Amino acid sequence: MKRKGILFVISGPSGVGKGTIREALLEKISDIEVSISATTRPPRPGEVHGKDYFFLSGEEFKKMIAEDKFLEWANVYQNFYGTPRDFVIKNLEQGKDVLLEIDIQGAMQVKNKMPEGVFIFIYPPDIQTLAERLCNRGKDSKESIERRLAACAEELRHVKYYDYVVVNDELEWAVKKTEAIIIAERCKIKNIELEVV
């Protein structure tokens, strides 16, 4: 029995716990490739090209944009970030599943190019909890948190474009639900090439 590779896209508003859920999933599911993003920002200490990111020059990145070599890309604070198409396609063609954790804007770009992917929206229990998570993680300024929360209402409306929604009210349960989605999708007939006896 052979199986086609499946692209799983985990997305949701900033601070909802996408990265935490992804990390917990990777401890449970070892046979999935994590999509590696390309960026023009310089490597931070300890980061490795081809493992943490594909580090590219501005010229290299713009050439890839012109050649439509990204499933999605964005300019974030004067640095470009994108998901290289070749990395994803190569793994899927080899029958490997690919996990992509990304913001909502990027997920919508990916959906336009690969609508056959499985799109999972991580939803906050409520806005107050999301605000607390953003404050507690200590990564953002007060202005940044306010800007992210203001964008959140609009972002939550995008849930209708996804295949699944997982409310992250209790982390362990949210991880179990996301894992169950991956297992179920792997069992779908359309994703399996069965030998007829």
End-to-end distance of the chain based on CA atoms, in angstroms?
Answer: 12
For residue 9, pLDDT beyond 90 = yes
Q: What is the pLDDT of residue 138?
A: 65
15 is in an annotated binding site: yes
Q: How far apart are CA 61 and CA 40, in angstroms?
A: 7
**Is 16 part of any known ligand binding site?**
yes
Is 17 annotated to bind a ligand? Reply is yes
Domain ranges of the chain: 2-193
Q: What is the model's pLDDT at position 177?
A: 98
- E strand or H helix at 61: helix 58-66
Which residues lie across from 38 on neighbouring strands? 54, 82
Q: Which fold has domain 2-193?
A: Rossmann fold (3.40.50)
Parallel, antiparallel or unpaired: strands 97-102 and 32-34: parallel
Res 130: pLDDT: 77
Tens of pLDDT, residue by residue over 29-51, are 989 999 999 999 988 888 899 88
Res. 56 pLDDT band, cuts 50 70 90: very high
Residue 147's pLDDT is 76
Query: Is 95 annotated as ligand-binding?
Result: no
pLDDT band per the 50, 70, 90 thresholds, residue 176: very high
Which tokens is 130 given?
């999301």
Q: Which residues contact 37 (CB under 8 A, 6 or more apart)?
A: 53, 54, 81, 82, 83, 84
What is the value of pTM for the model shown? 0.87
Residues 88, 169: Cα–Cα separation, whole Å: 30
Q: Strand pairing partners for 121? A: 11, 165
Q: Is 76 annotated as a binding residue?
A: no
